[in-house]
Structure 1
Amino acid sequence: MTSPCDPQDAPVGDVGAALMMIDSRLKAVYDGQTGAIAEQQELTEQFAASLGPGGVDDLVDGTCTLIYMYMQWLRRTYEEHDRDVIEYVVPNLVATMRMLPKSVRPEAIPMMAGLVIAAGTDLSPNLWRQQYGRWTPSEMTPLEATTFLLAEHINRLTDDRTFATRLITDALSAAEEA
């Protein structure tokens, strides 16, 4: 029986724009540019506003696609070591989000954890989220933070600050060649 949250039925969205946002955020944090982080947030908000409603939906879908792809990579990696991805990723993600009360309101944390769990159990995070209604503006920053934290987790595991970005760009390149 197929699930209504089957990833094959999910919109992919604008993965390139979502990756650009996450990659620039990673670079700003790694370079220790605290002033650049505030500037980056302003640019992100301007970029999102320039997209219009359909563009924002594509960006959100693209961000959910990143979450799915990151969790699939993490799942395979943890399974190679006989570990459960949910057990090793979700508690760390939740604990980190709890330390970011200005960016991630406490009421958004269960939804973000749900997205990650959905992706880690081979469900589409955006289709899983859809059952709760439309995305709210207050969920946009936590969604970006979730994606950022997953990418950073991958980069730490691989001891490579650009691995998570390359993982996606390589997948996009392979998809274009197919």
Structure 2
Amino acid sequence: MSSPYGPQNAPAGDVGAALLMIDSRLKSIHNGTTGTDTEQRELIEQFTASLGPEGAHDVLDGACTLIYMYMVWLRKAHEEHGKDVIEYVVPNLVASLRMMPRSIRPEAIPTMAGLVIAAGTGLSPNLWRKQYGEWTEVEMTPLEATTFLLAEHINRIADDPDFATRLITDALSRTDEL
């Protein structure tokens, strides 16, 4: 039976812009050029402000699409080894988010775990979240961190610092060919 929260019912959003933000963060951390958290946050705020409200919402949907796509890949990778993606990914994600108390408020962590569980069970993270109301400002940094952590997890599994980005760009290029 089809769920109203299935990915086929969800807007993809601006996956390219969301991927650009996550890839930029991945590269800055791996290249040791992180700067201060305040500087990075200001750049992201300037970028999203330039998009306007609708564009920012599209990037938010794009981040949820990334979470979904990353979880699909992780689910397949874990199933190849007879493992459950939820059992292996969610506890590590929650533990990582809890180690960031200055950036991630504790009350946002269950929502991020829920997004990842929704995606891991084949549901759209943004539609799952939408049933609880509008996104809050407190959830923006945790959403970015969740997307980043999933991408970094994939990169470590693949032993390739660019694998998660290529995974998405390859999928987007295949979509463009249709």
Report what 1:146 is aligned to: 146
3-state SS of paired residue (1:34): coil
Query: Is residue 14–residue 62 contact of structure 1 (8 Å, CA) maintained in 2?
Result: yes
Question: Could you tell me which amino acid in structure 2 is paired with residue 107 of structure 1?
Answer: E
Report what 2:116 is aligned to: 116
Question: Could you tell me which amino acid in structure 2 is paired with residue 59 of structure 1?
Answer: V
- Quick check: 151-160 or 47-56, which moved more? 47-56
Report what 2:41 is aligned to: 41
Alignment of 1:14-53 (within 5 A): 14-35=14-35, 38-53=38-53
Instruction: Using structure 2 for the length normalisation, give the TM-score.
Output: 0.97
Partners of 1:74 and 1:37 lie apart in 2 by 28
Question: Number of paired residues?
Answer: 178
Report what 1:101 is aligned to: 101
Give % identity: 73
Partners of 1:39 and 1:20 lie apart in 2 by 17
Structure 2: gaps spanning 5 or more residues: none
Report what 1:133 is aligned to: 133
Report what 2:159 is aligned to: 159
Partners of 2:21 and 2:34 lie apart in 1 by 16
Question: Could you tell me which amino acid in structure 1 is paired with residue 48 of structure 2?
Answer: A
Report what 2:169 is aligned to: 169
Question: Could you tell me which amino acid in structure 2 is paired with residue 170 of structure 1?
Answer: D
Question: Could you tell me which amino acid in structure 1 is paired with residue 126 of structure 2?
Answer: N
Instruction: Using structure 1 for the length normalisation, give the TM-score.
Output: 0.97
Partners of 1:150 and 1:156 lie apart in 2 by 10
Structure 1 runs of 4+ aligned residues shifted over 3 Å read none
Question: Could you tell me which amino acid in structure 2 is paired with residue 81 of structure 1?
Answer: H
- Quick check: 43-52 or 116-125, which moved more? 43-52
Q: 1:177 to 1:36 in 2, by over 3 A?
A: farther
Shift of 1:56: 1.1
Shift of 1:38: 4.1
Question: Could you tell me which amino acid in structure 2 is paired with residue 77 of structure 1?
Answer: A
Query: Is residue 7–residue 124 contact of structure 1 (8 Å, CA) maintained in 2?
Result: yes
| CA distances 1:120-154 after superposition (whole Å, capped 9, x unpaired) | 00000000000000001111100000000000000
Question: What RMSD in Å do the two structures reach over aligned CA positions?
Answer: 1.0
Alignment of 1:2-21 (within 5 A): 2-21=2-21
- Quick check: 118-127 or 38-47, which moved more? 38-47
Shift of 1:52: 1.3
3-state SS of paired residue (1:35): coil
Shift of 1:37: 5.1
Shift of 1:4: 1.3
| CA distances 1:89-127 after superposition (whole Å, capped 9, x unpaired) | 000000000000111100000000000000000000000
